[in-house]
Amino acid sequence: MSGRLFDDAMWLAGLVLIGTILCFLLTPIAVTVIMAFDSRAYLGPLPPPSLSLRWFEQFFSDDYFLRGLSTSVKLATLAVAISTAVGLATAFVVERTEFAGKQLLISLFLSPLLVPPVVTGFALLLFLSHLGLINGFARLLCGHIIITVPYTIRATLTGLGGIDRSLTEAALSLGANERAAFWDVTFPLARTSIVSGAIFAFAVSMDDVAVSIMLTDATTYTLPVALISSMRANFDLSIAAASVMLMLVTLGLIVALEKSVGLNRAIGQGVFRS
C-alpha cells in the first residue's frame, strides 16, 4: 500500500513540477504580450487599465525599427537560400560517399552550433576586416550563413539518410541518368527535410543577436540589434510590440514546420521518415 501511495505522490510531484516550469517559461512572455497592448504612455503597474495598438503604431512609424526589420528579412531570406543550397550539396556528397574521417567532417560542419556565437561573430569581424570586407550587409550575410548552415546540413542529412539507396538504383536501371534520378527521386523524398531545415535556419537568422551585434555598422543592423540599442537609449513599450511580432513570426514558422513534417507523415510510407 505504501509503495502505491509513494508512486502516486511522485506522479503528483511531477505534475506540480511541470506546471511550475511552464509558469516560469510562459509568465514573462504573457507579461510582454499584455504590455505590448498597454494604452498608457508610461510604464505603469499591471494590469493595464485599457488596451490599444499605440505601441504597434509607434513601432511602424519609427524608421530605425523599420530599417532593422527590412534588413533582418532580407538577410534571413538570402542567408537561408544560400545555406539551404550549400547544405543540400554538402549533405548529398557526404551521404553518397564513404571516406576516412567522414564523421569528423560532419562534426566540423556542425561545429558552429558548439562555438559560442559571440566568438563566431568576433572571429568573423577580425577575419573580414583583414580581408578588407567592411560592407555591413555582406558581413552580416557571412555570419548568418555560418550560423544557419549547420541546421540545413543536419536536416538534409537526416532526410537523405532515410531514403533507401535502392530507389536511386531503380531509377538508374530504368534509364534515368544520375541528374534525373536526383531530381525525380532523391529531391522529392528529401524535400520535407530540406524545407524544415530552411525554416529552422530562417528562425535562427531572424532571432540572432550575438553574431549580428558584432557585424553591424551604423546603417546596416538587424531588428534584434535595433531593439537592444533602442532599449539602452530610451525604454518604451514599442520593444514589447516588436517582441510580440517576432514571436508571431517564430510561431508561424513552427506551424509551417509542423505542417511540413505532418504532411510528411500523411504521405509517408517507410522512406518518408523525417
Partner 1 sequence: MQDPTEPVVVFRNVSKRFGSTAAVDAMSFTVAAGETLSLLGPSGCGKTTTLRLVAGFEQPDAGSIEIAGQAMVGKRPYERNVGLLFQHYALFPHMTVAENIGYGLKHRRWPKAEFGDRIAEMLRLVRLEGFDARRPGQLSGGQQQRVALARVLATKPKLVLLDEPLSALDAKLREELGLELKQILSTVGSTTIVVTHDQDEAMSLADRIIVMNRGKIEQLGTPGEIYAQPRTAFVASFIGRTNWFSGSGGTLAVNGVCRLTTNNGTALNVRTVDMPPAGSWRVCVRPERIVIMPAHTAAAGSDANSLEGEVVSVVNMGAQLHFVGQTAEGRITVVQPNRQGSRFQTGEAISLHFGADDCVLLAPDA
For 38, phi and psi rounded to 5 degrees?
-65, 135
Closest contact distance (angstroms) between CB of 102 and partner 1 is: 17
SS3 assignment for the chain = CHHHHHHHHHHHHHHHHHHHHHHHHHHHHHHHHHHHCECCCCCCCCCCCCECCHHHHHHHHCHHHHHHHHHHHHHHHHHHHHHHHHHHHHHHHHHHCCCCCHHHHHHHHHHHHCCCHHHHHHHHHHHHHHHCCCCHHHHHHHHHHHHHHHHHHHHHHHHHHCCCHHHHHHHHHCCCCHHHHHHHHHHHHHHHHHHHHHHHHHHHHHHCCHHHHHHCCCCCCCHHHHHHHHHHHCCCCHHHHHHHHHHHHHHHHHHHHHHHHHHHHHHCCCCCCC
Does residue 179 touch partner 1 according to CB under 8 A?
A: no
Closer Cβ to partner 1, 73 or 167, answer by number = 167
113 binds partner 1 (CB under 8 A): no
Give the shortest CB-273-to-partner 1 separation in angstroms: 11
Considering only 176, 213, 245, 261, the residue that binds partner 1 (CB under 8 A) is: 176
Pairwise CA distance, residues 80 & 141, whole Å: 10
Using CB under 8 A, pick the residue from 94, 147, 189, 215 that binds partner 1: 189
Nearest residue (CB) to partner 1, 153 versus 189 = 189
Q: Does 173 bind partner 1 (CB under 8 A)?
A: yes
Q: Which of residues 229-268 bind partner 1 (CB under 8 A)?
A: 267-268
**Taking CB under 8 A as the rule, does residue 177 contact partner 1?**
yes
Q: Does 2 bind partner 1 (CB under 8 A)?
A: no
Choosing from 66, 110, 167, 261, the residue that interacts with partner 1 (CB under 8 A) is 167
97 binds partner 1 (CB under 8 A): no
The nearer residue to partner 1, 66 or 263, going by C-beta atoms, is: 263
Could you give the CA distance from residue 223 to residue 69 in angstroms, rounded to a whole number?
Answer: 5
Min dist. Cβ of residue 172 to partner 1 (A) = 4
Nearer to partner 1 (CB atom), residue 177 or residue 234: 177
Residue 51 forms beta bridges with which residues? Answer: 38
Interface with partner 1 includes 174 (CB under 8 A)? yes
Min dist. Cβ of residue 189 to partner 1 (A): 6
Taking the complex as a whole, the smallest distance from the CB of residue 180 to partner 1 amounts, in Å, to 7
Asked if 3 is part of the footprint of partner 1 (rule: CB under 8 A), the reply reads: no
Among 164, 217, 235, 262, binds partner 1 (CB under 8 A): 164
Q: Hey, what amino acid is at 119? A: V
Contact positions vs partner 1 (CB under 8 A): 164, 166-167, 169-177, 180, 184-185, 188-189, 267-272
